[in-house]
Amino acid sequence: MSEGFESAEVVQDQDGRQYHIGLTAEEVTPYILTCGDPARAERIAKRFDQVNHTVRNREYVTHSGIFQGIPLTVMATGMGPDNTEIAVIELCQLVENPTFIRVGTCGGLQADMNIEDLVVSTASLRLENTSTFFVHEGFPAVAHYEVVAALKAAAQGLKKNFHIGITATAPGFYGAQGREGLGFPPRWPDLPEQLARMGVKNMEMETSALFTLCAMRGFRAGAVCTVFANRRTNKFIDPTRKIEAEDSAIDVALQTFVELYQADL
């Protein structure tokens, strides 16, 4: 056992500071917004009324403070279901009953979806295998109904163009999402078309791990993503529109936390 850590199973120090995310219980709130990009987390934290804690450890960047009277944490986890697994499990060692909302970007799969539209996930198809180390392959990765309803209400109230439905979570960006033409032929190049026929709305890289782990424990979780890629037309977002499009999903997530917090009082 490494000196200062509890064990090889529970890798935290004597103060409860988690090995990967670098946080203690005093540095996290029960309301947690996750995103992949550290720069996005920085922009979200700038909206807080006050920031009480900022912790950077490895790829995990966390800010905790107050937003419109709500205790709120935003964490950048980096990309992928494996990073998400570490973040969720270590955060859940620090918070008794957390609520998670993921704010991300995605590829749209349906004909009626445009770049910069939002997608609110009701569930996620687990194309990754990180979650299968915890649950049966048939276990449903579902969002919490309270979070879905609040995300929908926030998107409507803010007059956003949005879609609600099933997300697919891939373990990678290229082959795992059927991208061709890069010198590494994917095993299933028609995967986006297959998913579209199933009614899947979008593809991204984190949501199913978040939903699975939270469903196991009965914690609330949801996700809202901005469409950056239209896989049907093979178009990607204009770089000059990237931040504004990301901010659209952030607006919805923050308003959702306001609604959930008020309902929890």
State the catalytic residues: 20, 90, 179, 231
Q: Would you tell me how many other CB atoms lie within 10 Å of the CB of residue 14?
A: 8
Give me the amino acid identity at 5: F
Dihedral angle over CA of 205, 235, 164, 263, nearest 10: 70
Torsion angles phi and psi, residue 106, rounded to 5: -155, 175
Token digits of residue 215? 């469903």
Q: How far is CA 139 from CA 86, 130, 146, 198, 204, in A?
A: 20, 13, 20, 18, 19
Distance CA 253, CA 155 (A): 9
